[in-house]
Chains A and B, each alone.
Chain A
Amino acid sequence: MRIIRIISVLALFIAIATLNVNAQCKSFAKNECLPKLSPYTHDGNYHAAVLVEGEEAELYKTFYSDMEYRLAVVGESKLPNIEFKVMDENKNVIYSNKDNNYAQTWDFRLENSKQLKLVVKVTPFNKPGDTPASGCVAIMFGFKVKK
């Protein structure tokens, strides 16, 4: 019985910690990523996840010719650089923030509407034996009507 109780208490702590991490990710996205969209209007969508060093996330989205967009990709400070690449349907790289000192935002507009793919990667620290760092990474889009 005592073992069950100990296991239960531990499980409770883990569950609460998980909920807390999720809540932290949401507030991280709102406090750290959202402000970087200004003066663009945030579209209201939420894309955030806990990523570990070396881990990748992909996002597919259609962008429209009438709009100007700002993409913001921001990771928690405990993570190494966040690399992102934007690709067309044939996997040609259109933009990589690696060539721009790991910039957190990218402003763009399109002549014609297109579906693009975004690949976000937490670069590895590459220290053998170390526990990989993990933390929230938020991806947000802002838009304004093309002038």
Chain B
Amino acid sequence: MNKKFRIGTVILAVIVLCVVLFSGCGSGGGEKTQKKQTTVAQPKDNTQAIQDIKQAEKIFQALPSPLESAMLMKSAGARFDRKFLNPVDNAKNYTTQSSQALNLGIFTCDLSFASLYDQTQLIIDYMNAAKKMADGLGILDAINQSTIDELEENINNTDVIMKIVSETFLNSNSYLADNDQPAIASIVLVGGWMEGLYIATQLVDEKEFNGNKLVGRIIDQKLSIEVLQNLLLSNKENPAIGVLITQMDKLKTVFDKISIKTKPIKTEIDRTTNTTILRSEVTTDMSLATFKELTEVVAEIRGTFVK
């Protein structure tokens, strides 16, 4: 009886240890990157509690989502070309956690791109490829059979498809955030962002470089590179992140050659729509040589993601 009791206690202790370790202290936040320890203990007085609280700062580094990246390309007049997407057959090659996370972002971006251009069969194919990555990462029910069925039923309705893509991405990254896997969540975002940048750089015709709206969107990505670096640095304890940090440092050296000069923002309210308009003068400059270098470096890094 005593032996049984001891064994029971040990098993209970092991289970508790596992649950405590794996539950972590995550409190949500897809791109939550710097989270100092927040201890919510019973305070002796309110002043001490407020002091503790002030030290507990949460910082989110928000990259454009794959859906937003695809929408930006379309609004800049990009044409659809499936040869720049990662073929769905490659899905079987991704067996490690980091390759599955990167390609969850990549396939979601490709899915978004296909959705905006009414590529009906590709939409189904890329949703299945994204599902395979999510399943591999243990993301439960992010994309299930009912998602695929709903997609098929609404295959000609772009608005519904975009809503489904948005929901599935939300399911994936909220699952990762809530299960204390911010490093994996950040890798997914990096994959999606790089895919958008890769497709955009590939779609630019160098003969129409000057005044090309898509080039403007590529220049804008300079604004996100530091956000991306901070996102990775806050998760650097993950071995896969170290490789990405080196790759993004290389990418930043190219972005540093692009000039963006801005003047302070002036606000104006459009009373008819109750929308605030943020007006500011911005001048940008990227040479064709820098664009070619950027295209090369992006293709090289993206090549390591999809291999």
Query: Which residues of the other chain, A, contact B165 by a CB distance below 8 angstroms?
Result: 44
- CB–CB A25/B265 < 8 A: no
List 20 A–B pairs whose Cβ atoms lie within 8 Å, in order of A's numbering: A5-B12, A18-B25, A21-B27, A25-B178, A26-B174, A45-B169, A46-B170, A50-B28, A52-B40, A57-B58, A58-B57, A59-B61, A66-B217, A88-B264, A89-B262, A107-B276, A109-B278, A111-B279, A113-B223, A115-B227
Q: Which residues of A contact B (CB under 8 A)?
A: 1, 4-5, 8-9, 11-12, 14-16, 18-19, 21-23, 25-26, 29-30, 34, 41-62, 64-68, 88-90, 92, 94-95, 106-115, 124, 126-132, 134, 136, 139, 141, 143, 145-146
Q: Within the assembled complex, what's the spacing in Å between the Cα atoms of A106 and B274?
A: 9
Least CB distance from A93 to B in Å reads 10
Least CB distance from B279 to A in Å reads 5
Q: How many chain B residues touch the partner (CB < 8 A)?
A: 86
Q: Is B54 interfacial (CB-CB < 8 Å)?
A: yes
- CB–CB A29/B57 < 8 A: no
Least CB distance from B293 to A in Å reads 22
A-B contact count (CB 8 A): 250
Query: Which residues of the other chain, A, contact B278 by a CB distance below 8 angstroms?
Result: 94, 108-111, 114
The closest CB in chain B to the CB of A28 belongs to: B28
Query: Which residues of the other chain, A, contact B227 by a CB distance below 8 angstroms?
Result: 60-62, 115
- CB–CB A107/B267 < 8 A: no
Query: Which residues of the other chain, A, contact B262 by a CB distance below 8 angstroms?
Result: 89, 112, 114
Query: Which residues of the other chain, A, contact B45 by a CB distance below 8 angstroms?
Result: 128-129
Q: Within residues 158 to 193 of chain B, which ones have a CB less than 8 A from any CB in chain A? A: 159, 162-163, 165-170, 173-175, 177-179, 189
